[in-house]
Amino acid sequence: MMNDHPSTTQSIIMDALSTLSSSQLSTLSHSLSSTFHRHNHHLATLLTSPPLFIHTLNHLYSLSLPQKSLLIARHLLSFLRLLTPFFSSSFPSSTSNRVRLCDLDSVLLLLFFCEVRQHHPTILDTHPTHWQTTLQHYKFGSDTMLCLSTLTITPYQTLGAYIDLIVKCRRFVRSKGCSNGRKEVATAVETVVALPSMEVPIGGLECVICKEEMKQGRDVCQLPCQHLFHWMCVLPWLSKRNTCPCCRFLLPTDDVYGEIERCWDTIVKVGFQRSC
């Protein structure tokens, strides 16, 4: 696992972005701009609606630290998924980790709290009943990383905000020990169900799981990396792992942190190829 120092993370993303064409960068920046503005609207609504603000704040109070970390992890994953498809047209993605609207409100407010604390450590030392007014003055008085202004911004500003968000979210998630090192996680059920079956083209091929020959003409399982396995061998394997037994290709998983590592692995590989 590579060092997750903020400057290292930033350079990896920048190297990966530098491999995109002008049209791809334009498409990505447009998608990011739309997402940022949508999130800006959600946060503005939170800060101007006392009932919604109180409800969201109470929800945050009810969450443990691991649950808060999971919220930020889901948010990070949603942004990584905007980038990774540009690097592989066949990049498979699990759909089970979508962010619900109530969770989006919570994570936006939580990240906004973190940002305010970073720039003004004592600004929220008042009673929580005063926080909404205090945060309104902060948000509407300056453009922040999380909530870009409604004015037109350049694609480079959008990409800069994107990199900043990825760095901060990834640093937070890993600092809480929630994604420290790669653990074994099961392949997403929907991915396993969709795996194709094909006939063994030639004799002499070995299933690396059981070490026995896959007889020519027999139906076997083909993973996205093109490697073949006996169905009875690979299904138990995928119920515990999301890697190919041959090449360690990462398949989609329903585990949020496993999906983050899968997306990040793709970005690292592209960035590394660029820097070589």
The answer on 114 and 210 residing in a single domain is no
Has residue 94 been placed in a domain?
Answer: yes
Query: Which residue, 150, 129, 147, 131, is CA-closest to 139?
Result: 147
The answer on 156 and 209 residing in a single domain is no
CA distance between the termini of the chain? 18
pLDDT tens-digit map of 78-104: 999 999 888 876 555 555 556 678 889
Has residue 57 been placed in a domain?
Answer: yes
Has residue 126 been placed in a domain?
Answer: yes
The answer on 46 and 171 residing in a single domain is yes
The answer on 226 and 123 residing in a single domain is no
The answer on 114 and 194 residing in a single domain is no
Asked if the model's pLDDT at residue 216 lies above 60, the reply is yes
The answer on 133 and 63 residing in a single domain is yes
And the tokens for 166? 């990825």
Structural contact between residues 182 and 86, judged by C-beta atoms closer than 8 angstroms:
no
Has residue 244 been placed in a domain?
Answer: no
Average pLDDT of the chain? Answer: 84
Has residue 245 been placed in a domain?
Answer: no
Q: Is 222 helix (H, G, I), strand (E, B) or coil?
A: strand
Q: In this structure, what CATH number is given to the domain that contains residue 201? A: 3.30.40.10
pLDDT tens-digit map of 30-82: 999 899 888 988 888 898 899 999 999 999 999 998 899 999 999 999 999 99
Q: What number of other Cβ atoms are within 10 A of residue 224's Cβ?
A: 18
The answer on 19 and 42 residing in a single domain is yes
Residue 213 CA neighbour count, 13 Å, CB half: 7
Has residue 247 been placed in a domain?
Answer: no
The answer on 196 and 179 residing in a single domain is no
- Please tell me the total count of domains within the chain: 2
The answer on 179 and 106 residing in a single domain is yes
Q: In which region does residue 63 sit, left (phi positive, over 0), alpha (psi from -120 to 50) or beta (all else)? A: beta
Question: Which residues are 220's β-sheet partners?
Answer: 198
The answer on 138 and 13 residing in a single domain is yes
Instruction: Out of 114-128, 148-162, 195-209, pick the least confident.
Output: 148-162
Higher pLDDT, 59 or 202: 59
CA distance 43 to 53: 9
> Taking the model in full, what pTM does it have?
0.82
CA distance 152 to 145: 15
Has residue 208 been placed in a domain?
Answer: yes
CA distance 11 to 138: 30
Q: Which range of residues forms the domain containing residue 142? A: 6-183+256-275
The answer on 154 and 207 residing in a single domain is no
70-74 long-range contacts (CB < 8 A, ≥24 apart) are: 70/178, 70/256, 71/103, 71/106, 71/107, 71/110, 72/107, 72/110, 72/111, 72/169, 72/172, 72/173, 73/169, 73/173, 73/178, 73/179, 73/256, 73/257, 73/260, 74/99, 74/103, 74/107, 74/256
The answer on 154 and 53 residing in a single domain is yes
Q: So what's the pLDDT on residue 127?
A: 84
The one-character DSSP state at 129 is G
Has residue 1 been placed in a domain?
Answer: no
